[in-house]
Structure 1
């Protein structure tokens, strides 16, 4: 391992991800959710990432340690001796470039007019605020053949040394940031311009003169940024700044060097020989950082990334993934990182696997969207993990088993640098660029998997259930699956849309109906993404049954323990929740949801969609108020977030239970039928069995009944209605919800749900 501090992690956080099984009826519509967050909390808009397309980019023959961007030009530094065009094998089309180059983000081509050289590694690079200069620091002692001791200023257009700027440090410099008149440098040095400086120094941008700014760090400095607050934020493996405790990070006065308050170290603590805050970046108001921690039981707690207020250092979020992270770049509401994350379960991502599975490039939202679920930072605010999964192959140049070390970019492009030989299995060594969707080729599509094959069963007369393990796409989480019968690709018998990732590929199904009993058919499934890219399954054959049993679409006995959610029904797939994940849990054999006064919490089986559902569930409330009431609801057809058919059971203590069928369209709720159920009285903790049936279209028949759990189900439906409202004559999903009236005396209620069954009612 070299002195750059990259490490292979030893700490393992074991995590388990339950298998997701999704049972689906007929569903339509195109693939959606191209940039959908995996762990978002609330209804914020998800920012778009760049695509995962590999754009042709200049290549290098070594390793990239750092990059910076000025307009559409990327300046790259590291350890390499030549550059070659995209697509050129090593040794062909080589242009000498010694440890530094520039390339065009729009074309991907080497900028030949920028021609500079360093005689050893460049480790850090930045630009002057006006974009006229590039400052580079590292291990070198010569730049462009002239003596330049570990720091140089280059003309941004030509690469020529800037006259009159020749500061010196006596040992490795790693970090550099520039303001209008000052260049701040950090590293492992102890002398600057022949004057004692303890790992931090500042120089005049005009003539390289050493400035009085002289804070002291007790160990190496890795990162420097200057947010709009004006502080110089410092990161590394130090434990003190100016002899004051500042564990891995701190803020300094830009003129005096005095320490300023920096609250982040109260949460994120990385320092010492085997741990550090490895990199910093800023968008002005916020400072973003990354960390690594090498030895189990060491003095670090961060391997992922974080965001902190640029003035106070107060933590805004922590991405509690495990796996050292080396570089960070915020662009357009997205935070891109480079490293080797191997467990992102705290963000709703992939768990620790055996053998370990790594993701070398990761994207999250720039703002908090929820909380870490488990891990070191459990309960702390977290960003949402975004569905963007380029595959960077591990390189061999440094011998550290790494791929990407650096990320930079602008509003249209992202550039990753490192030692990878391939990206998405395309030969592309050391540097790769990716672009936003409007200018990218958008050719990365659903991945073919050997187990993407239909399983065909026919247990109900005239119907065939087509089930398959879903595939995944590096950009589109929600893929559309077309089910094609007998080779009729132009007229699929149905489409379903399912969310999947490379680590969570649920089993999906479609029920084909109206078939002649005893007939034989073939089926193939096609997976389409948002850009029209497609892959297909193998072909299957089945003979149609003559049985008349209803098809089970979903079932949940809640025989598991989950905090901050409901997990997954089997069959039925993942429960999606509204009303705050902290209000949901699965415990004591029931799915529980807590609702505040005048608030609604809802759990939806969004992957189960159809026009015929028969839902039965047991439900009860821990307390039934004497005024206002609590409403426990079973939805038969929920379309989107505002349109539905539902059966609502309203309880007020000591009063008859009311069962009401309603229609809701565009936020307006209309009563279709209602009944005060004879013999049922609102009682805290009393378990009720509720059955809701919604079948057909134009019109739809809606029916419901409620009775005490453990007693015989009433033979007749207690309330029924027909309705043909256009917005609801489409497939929808089953759901459950709880509402506590504003007139209730208590501030909240906890409702429980158990023994859920959803079938098609034998409707096919």
Structure 2
């Protein structure tokens, strides 16, 4: 059994060849560094079938059958016969070439008895995953691979000294037309190489070597001609400047940090004129590591002909160097450079564990994502950037928060997908041991979470070390031993939804998707359950079936969710005859027809205390409830002081009078709350406030004194602190006021105190505030994006509240004279289409 010590960090330097579909991915290795573990969230954007066609589509999370490394038998750290690790993979045409630390390989699905010899190098078919009859043995680790732009040569770099029995000192070339080692390319490196990249005329290599081609002064990085001669005109100098090696860690702890001048990654520009170099060095070509206006701290860009320094502006933001941190992976899609970082958290030599996107022009930052947890490789393919990492918190870009080890998907997420385009701005990290990247442009995290089980070969509790892509396929490689619970060692393919089996469906079933059932005045029920989730679809459909009828659901709704954001879904059903018993069951479906079912629950409607038939749920009620309000008071009771909350348990009281409601055109017995100009009501309890929300209701009035329709208040009175108030001025205009840093207001131009029923909705969110009346947007204000949180909980005051100090506030306590009906609130801004649909569903139109 061969053993291996933990190698230097994985590097990745792919480049895309022009006018070829194959993507050249040049990567390698792992890490000597110890890995250290170290707020409202927005949903991810897309998946394999996004609801919005304007957002990017990912590949499926289905792991396709792919060639495997090792025998698959149980193995421990360093066992490269039964196990192993893949450091790099490169696609040329329909062939995937693979390098790493392994001695055996298998066809997809084969067991140990069918393993064949493949020493640190193999090839498989991109479209079928089948192991190919390519057997070129390397006597030690292959760390990095790169194809020539014309696809005729494959360059390998690593720790080997022989290839197919021929002496080659840590770098070699293979003729892909003949499958033989190129005889006249045999440079000399005196120690390990970690990265190799190729242009049409040069081969660039970096690593730990102190001598290249036995030439003096060429160390850590070098360039060779196609016949293996050292390019003496190209000699960058990655170095350790002692004054740039900090002592200490974030948080004040004292600890010595050592320098390192290793080169971990190289990428060449599409025209071959520029080269970006990264690694552990803190100075490049004499740059000052203390001057953030100079590039060279852990990475820099140089000319490809003479190694002269060029601007690399992203280095002002990403500062990774010394033995504790580095940018260990570089790739390009032809237009931009993508880099990834590793960093032993709290060490001051570095600051970055995520992915950045920078321009080839001068290295200016396009975006950066600072998910916590080292990132080993990233690759841009079509409109998505895929990455291999062990991310455990992505909340700064609206993704998952820090996860516990008891989470269903584990603490670390090994394969993630990001938007290629910038979509947002990073928020601040709450953790003092991390560097704050808040305010920088960022991508969004997409709904793609294949489950890669960690391997044991490196002893570093990792799974994927590398990612690349070509055509309809995204390829992951590393030391993982299973994908989505199915044995799959070291290599896996993921395909676009057009050709994938698309069998990864909703995850939860049974008791996890079983609703609680609550009676609403006897003859209606409210069903509540927490959303399901899927590893490659963010939008799932929920159907509620009654009494075993699985053909016609009583409720259908599509809701966005994922494993870290599972909103509570609410459904209502009725009219149920008093004394009857009914069963309910929920089905979850993804866009490809995969389904899971929850358990069956039953409910018996009481024989007494039932809502009268004139209070039956209306078309408008159904439209509102389907859009998941946090609270909804239909005011449908024929009498009494209580308005029942059909979306929760926080009711409104005390109502003093009832009048015909907004739904009276369809139901003559419909009711609304009548306010005399001295009366008011409020919720029985405070409920959580939300930074974004919608307030919706119907109103009718002829008042000339204005008044408060609804407002949120800290106490159940008319004079306490308040916010999010909807009111009318003496001219009959509708106003809304909220505090977004300062108190702001917005007002309609037209008057609505004409004695007719009007539908009103006020939305507030990231794009600002809009007032809708009768389904039409009347006025908007872009700089009013949230309201005061009021300590996190607030009562709803209905029909009155003192709004002193606000724009055109009504007099005194703002008592409103008129009628209010169908009051609802939501913890999100309704869309214009949703508001219009609600108005259309209403039974009273002006």
CA distance in structure 2 between the aligned counterparts of 1:183 and 1:169, rounded to whole angstroms: 13
Matched, 1:74 2:168: no
Q: Is the 8 A contact 1:35 1:386 kept in 2?
A: no
Task: State the 1:361 CA deviation.
Answer: 0.3
Unaligned runs of 5+ in 1: 21-31, 571-585, 594-615, 634-643, 650-658, 668-678, 689-706, 720-730, 740-759
Give the aligned partner of residue 391 of structure 1: 451
Task: State the 1:145 CA deviation.
Answer: 1.2
Matched, 1:238 2:281: yes
CA distance in structure 2 between the aligned counterparts of 1:311 and 1:105, rounded to whole angstroms: 33
SS state of the match for residue 384, structure 1?
coil
Task: State the 1:513 CA deviation.
Answer: 2.3
CA distance in structure 2 between the aligned counterparts of 1:718 and 1:493, rounded to whole angstroms: 25
SS state of the match for residue 352, structure 2?
coil
Residue by residue over 1:637-679, the C-alpha shift from the partner in whole angstroms, topping out at 9 and shown as x without a partner, is xxxxxxx964579xxxxxxxxx9833349x9xxxxxxxxxxx9
Residue by residue over 1:337-396, the C-alpha shift from the partner in whole angstroms, topping out at 9 and shown as x without a partner, is 101000111111111133371100010011110011122211111101010010000111
Give the aligned partner of residue 201 of structure 1: 222
Distance 1:125-1:687 versus aligned 2 partners, 3 A rule: farther
CA distance in structure 1 between the aligned counterparts of 2:455 and 2:744, rounded to whole angstroms: 63
Q: Is the 8 A contact 1:37 1:386 kept in 2?
A: no
Unaligned runs of 5+ in 2: 10-30, 71-83, 240-260, 289-295, 430-435, 612-636, 638-642, 651-682, 696-712, 715-719, 726-733, 751-757, 764-770, 780-799, 833-840
Bigger fraction of residues in strand: 1
Among 127, 130, 140, the alignment partner of 2:150 is 130
Q: Quote the RMSD (CA, aligned, Å).
A: 4.0
Matched, 1:2 2:33: no
Matched, 1:491 2:603: no
Give the aligned partner of residue 347 of structure 1: 397
Give the aligned partner of residue 120 of structure 2: 99
Q: Is the 8 A contact 1:36 1:46 kept in 2?
A: no
Give the aligned partner of residue 212 of structure 1: 233
SS state of the match for residue 182, structure 2?
coil
CA distance in structure 2 between the aligned counterparts of 1:200 and 1:165, rounded to whole angstroms: 17
Give the aligned partner of residue 181 of structure 2: 161
Q: Is the 8 A contact 1:34 1:530 kept in 2?
A: no
Q: Is the 8 A contact 1:193 1:210 kept in 2?
A: no
Task: State the 1:95 CA deviation.
Answer: 1.8
Give the aligned partner of residue 424 of structure 2: 370
Q: Is the 8 A contact 1:167 1:210 kept in 2?
A: no
Q: Is the 8 A contact 1:98 1:117 kept in 2?
A: yes
Q: Is the 8 A contact 2:46 2:56 kept in 1?
A: no
Q: Is the 8 A contact 2:158 2:171 kept in 1?
A: yes
Moved more, 469-478 or 352-361: 352-361
Give the aligned partner of residue 170 of structure 2: 150
Distance 1:531-1:102 versus aligned 2 partners, 3 A rule: same
Q: Is the 8 A contact 2:399 2:445 kept in 1?
A: yes
CA distance in structure 2 between the aligned counterparts of 1:477 and 1:426, rounded to whole angstroms: 23
Give the aligned partner of residue 132 of structure 2: 111
Q: Is the 8 A contact 2:693 2:828 kept in 1?
A: no
TM-score, normalised to structure 2's length?
0.67
Q: Is the 8 A contact 2:191 2:210 kept in 1?
A: yes
Give the aligned partner of residue 785 of structure 2: none
Give the aligned partner of residue 358 of structure 1: 412
Q: Is the 8 A contact 2:801 2:815 kept in 1?
A: no
SS state of the match for residue 443, structure 2?
strand
Matches within 5 A, 1:258-337: 258-337=308-387
Residue by residue over 1:253-286, the C-alpha shift from the partner in whole angstroms, topping out at 9 and shown as x without a partner, is 1000111111111000111111110100001110
SS state of the match for residue 464, structure 1?
strand
Give the aligned partner of residue 253 of structure 1: 303
Q: Is the 8 A contact 2:520 2:646 kept in 1?
A: no
CA distance in structure 2 between the aligned counterparts of 1:451 and 1:318, rounded to whole angstroms: 36
Give the aligned partner of residue 85 of structure 1: 107
CA distance in structure 1 between the aligned counterparts of 2:531 and 2:724, rounded to whole angstroms: 29
Matched, 1:438 2:498: yes
Q: Is the 8 A contact 1:482 1:495 kept in 2?
A: yes
Matched, 1:46 2:58: no
Matches within 5 A, 1:414-429: 414-429=474-489
TM-score, normalised to structure 1's length?
0.74
Larger radius of gyration: 2
Q: Is the 8 A contact 1:228 1:310 kept in 2?
A: no
Q: Is the 8 A contact 1:647 1:661 kept in 2?
A: yes
Among 752, 774, 779, the alignment partner of 1:662 is 774
Matched, 1:379 2:439: yes
Q: Is the 8 A contact 1:76 1:100 kept in 2?
A: yes
Higher relative contact order (CA 8 A, sep 6+): 1
Q: Is the 8 A contact 2:735 2:747 kept in 1?
A: no
Distance 1:125-1:500 versus aligned 2 partners, 3 A rule: same
Among 143, 152, 161, the alignment partner of 1:141 is 161
CA distance in structure 1 between the aligned counterparts of 2:549 and 2:821, rounded to whole angstroms: 44
CA distance in structure 2 between the aligned counterparts of 1:200 and 1:207, rounded to whole angstroms: 15
SS state of the match for residue 244, structure 1?
coil
Task: State the 1:736 CA deviation.
Answer: 5.8
Distance 1:316-1:495 versus aligned 2 partners, 3 A rule: same
SS state of the match for residue 92, structure 1?
helix
CA distance in structure 2 between the aligned counterparts of 1:340 and 1:158, rounded to whole angstroms: 39
CA distance in structure 1 between the aligned counterparts of 2:302 and 2:108, rounded to whole angstroms: 43
Residue by residue over 1:13-50, the C-alpha shift from the partner in whole angstroms, topping out at 9 and shown as x without a partner, is xxx55899xxxxxxxxxxx9545899xxxx99211111
Q: Is the 8 A contact 2:392 2:412 kept in 1?
A: yes
SS state of the match for residue 439, structure 2?
coil
Distance 1:331-1:551 versus aligned 2 partners, 3 A rule: same
Give the aligned partner of residue 221 of structure 1: 263
Matches within 5 A, 1:405-484: 405-449=465-509, 450-484=511-545
Distance 1:535-1:589 versus aligned 2 partners, 3 A rule: farther
Q: Is the 8 A contact 2:46 2:446 kept in 1?
A: no
CA distance in structure 2 between the aligned counterparts of 1:58 and 1:367, rounded to whole angstroms: 33
Q: Is the 8 A contact 2:417 2:445 kept in 1?
A: yes
Give the aligned partner of residue 599 of structure 1: none
SS state of the match for residue 484, structure 1?
strand
Matched, 1:515 2:576: yes
Q: Is the 8 A contact 1:176 1:184 kept in 2?
A: yes
Among 625, 644, 647, the alignment partner of 1:550 is 644
SS state of the match for residue 396, structure 2?
helix
Task: State the 1:683 CA deviation.
Answer: 9.0
Q: Is the 8 A contact 1:328 1:337 kept in 2?
A: yes
Matched, 1:59 2:73: no
Q: Is the 8 A contact 1:687 1:709 kept in 2?
A: no
SS state of the match for residue 169, structure 1?
coil
CA distance in structure 2 between the aligned counterparts of 1:236 and 1:205, rounded to whole angstroms: 25
Distance 1:510-1:709 versus aligned 2 partners, 3 A rule: farther
CA distance in structure 2 between the aligned counterparts of 1:531 and 1:312, rounded to whole angstroms: 44
CA distance in structure 2 between the aligned counterparts of 1:52 and 1:521, rounded to whole angstroms: 38
SS state of the match for residue 123, structure 1?
strand
Give the aligned partner of residue 817 of structure 2: 714
Give the aligned partner of residue 806 of structure 2: 685
Matched, 1:190 2:293: no
Residue by residue over 1:608-654, the C-alpha shift from the partner in whole angstroms, topping out at 9 and shown as x without a partner, is xxxxxxxx9974586789xxx74499xxxxxxxxxx964579xxxxx
Distance 1:122-1:409 versus aligned 2 partners, 3 A rule: same
SS state of the match for residue 819, structure 2?
coil
Q: Is the 8 A contact 2:312 2:364 kept in 1?
A: yes
